[in-house]
Amino acid sequence: MGLLQSILGKTGRRFIKRKDSDAGETGRALEELRGLLYHEMHTSEGAKRQQQRLCGPAVAMSFNFAIAVSIIMANKLVMGKVGFNYPVALSLIHYAVAWLLMAILRAFSLLPMAPPSKSTPFSSLFVLGAVMSLSTGLANVSLQHNSIGFYQMAKIAVTPTIVLAEFMIFNKKVSSKKAITLGVVCAGVAVATVTDLEFNLFGACVALAWVIPSAVNKILWSNLQQTANWTALALMWKTTPITVFFFMALMPLLDPPGVLAFNWNLNSTSAIFISAIFGFLLQWSGALALGATSATSHVVLGQFKTIVIMLGGYILFKSDPGPVSLCGAFVALCGMSLYTYLNLNRSVELGAQTGKPLKPKSIEDGENGADTKAVDSV
């Protein structure tokens, strides 16, 4: 050792110590990086931050809009050409396939972590799973027993129901400008889509019974993601088994008999499976949109989808909705544009107050806030 020291001298000894120090710093940096990546991938807080970074309001709502239009085509194929006229059973298949896909993700450790069980009572998850099944099941029964116009009126009623429910539960108030804008949107959609209002007592009761679960469903999805560290997939994983259970109970009551005698050949099974894949994507994209924006913004997105489908039929397929419906569509689009502007302007104002740009994690609706037989998943 003495010989080695005499050969290296003081300079050599300093060089060895510096190399050891650099190696130690590199090791510590790699260990910190590994810990950061583990925290981002295997904790609910990290998963939530990743969802917010990768899927902002514009991405989430665009994703949901594209899938919502696609599943209408898929369900038209299933219920029309294939002849599978069992909407609750189809919803059951959608959610069962969704749970299977999430189980595969979980097996490969790709499913985001859920928050600790004590942070969210099981009763909240149970209620969410139950209202999801009621919302979807009653929507399809309403569509079967009501005219398209009456069904659209019930969908429009969801908007004021959400505003009222959020005020009663969270004391969340809507500014007068937004209230007027939402009124313009609802009026425009009503004029554009409500062409017949055939009244049926049973259908009217079902439509009224559907409005509240639909509003509560959107509010809970939005609130649980924004007030806790729930991601869309983690919340879906916890609530889907509850929803499947309720669908199994609702299917004999709401579906016509004969689902077990259906001709399950390769073509029909493939079409139903493709519809189920779109159903999973619709549920996921809807949850992402509700987590990134708000319940009211999401229902406005649904009304925008209705108007775009109507205008698309007019432009691409030469359908003739009539001048009154076209004027209503124009009014609705103007109201939606103004609603979006007010939300973005509010985000800029809040960012200016805090002294830094505000990323619109949630497009707030409050100023002091705490057509077809397509199966709606969220």
pLDDT in tens, 215-226: 999 999 998 888
Q: Is the residue at 333 inside a domain? A: yes
Structure confidence at residue 94 as a pLDDT band (50, 70, 90)? very high
pLDDT tens figures, 15-26: 455 555 555 666
Question: What is the model's pLDDT at position 93?
Answer: 94
Question: What is the model's pLDDT at position 365?
Answer: 42
Tokens describing residue 237? 């994983």
Into how many domains does the chain fold? 2
Q: Is the residue at 235 inside a domain? A: yes
Tokens describing residue 285? 């994209």
Residue 6 has pLDDT above 70, yes or no: no
Q: Is the residue at 375 inside a domain? A: no
Residue 147 CA to residue 151 CA, distance in Å, equals 6
Q: Is the residue at 123 inside a domain? A: yes
Q: Tell me: do 168 and 249 sit in the same domain.
A: yes
Question: What is the model's pLDDT at position 301?
Answer: 87
Q: Is the residue at 368 inside a domain? A: no
pLDDT, mean of residues 267-295 = 92
Structure confidence at residue 347 as a pLDDT band (50, 70, 90)? low
Residue 249 has pLDDT above 90, yes or no: yes
Q: Tell me: do 89 and 209 sit in the same domain.
A: yes
Strand partners, 174: 366
Q: Tell me: do 27 and 139 sit in the same domain.
A: no
Could you tell me the residue range of the domain that residue 323 belongs to? 57-354
Q: Tell me: do 36 and 72 sit in the same domain.
A: no
Question: What is the model's pLDDT at position 39?
Answer: 53
Query: Do 85 and 76 contact (CB within 8 A), yes or no?
Result: no
pLDDT tens figures, 318-338: 777 788 888 988 898 998 888
Q: Tell me: do 233 and 185 sit in the same domain.
A: yes
Question: What is the model's pLDDT at position 69?
Answer: 84
Global model pTM greater than 0.85: no
Percentage helix, strand, coil, to 5, in the chain?
A: 80, 0, 20
DSSP code of 198?
Answer: -
pLDDT tens figures, 290-328: 988 888 888 888 888 888 877 877 777 677 778 888 898
Q: Tell me: do 15 and 127 sit in the same domain.
A: no
Question: What is the model's pLDDT at position 317?
Answer: 67
- Please give the angle made by the CA atoms of 166, 347 and 294, to the nearest 5 degrees: 30
pLDDT tens figures, 161-202: 998 888 888 888 888 888 899 999 888 888 887 776 676 788
Q: Tell me: do 162 and 310 sit in the same domain.
A: yes
pLDDT tens figures, 24-61: 666 666 565 555 545 555 677 777 888 888 888 888 98
% of the chain beyond a pLDDT of 90: 23
Q: Tell me: do 29 and 93 sit in the same domain.
A: no
Q: Is the residue at 135 inside a domain? A: yes
Q: Is the residue at 252 inside a domain? A: yes
Q: List b or e across 324-352, with b for residues whose CB sees 16 or more CB atoms inside 10 angstroms.
A: ebbebbebbbebbebbbebbeebbeeeee
Q: How far is CA 353 from CA 293, 350, 356, 368, in A?
A: 20, 5, 8, 14
Q: Tell me: do 18 and 156 sit in the same domain.
A: no
For 60, residues 6+ apart whose C-beta sits below 8 A from its C-beta are 285, 288, 289, 291, 292, 293
- Please give the angle made by the CA atoms of 296, 301 and 306, to the nearest 5 degrees: 125
Structure confidence at residue 369 as a pLDDT band (50, 70, 90)? very low
Q: Tell me: do 144 and 251 sit in the same domain.
A: yes
Q: Is the residue at 359 inside a domain? A: no
DSSP 173-190: -B-HHHHHHHHHHHHHHH
Q: Tell me: do 141 and 289 sit in the same domain.
A: yes
Q: Tell me: do 15 and 63 sit in the same domain.
A: no
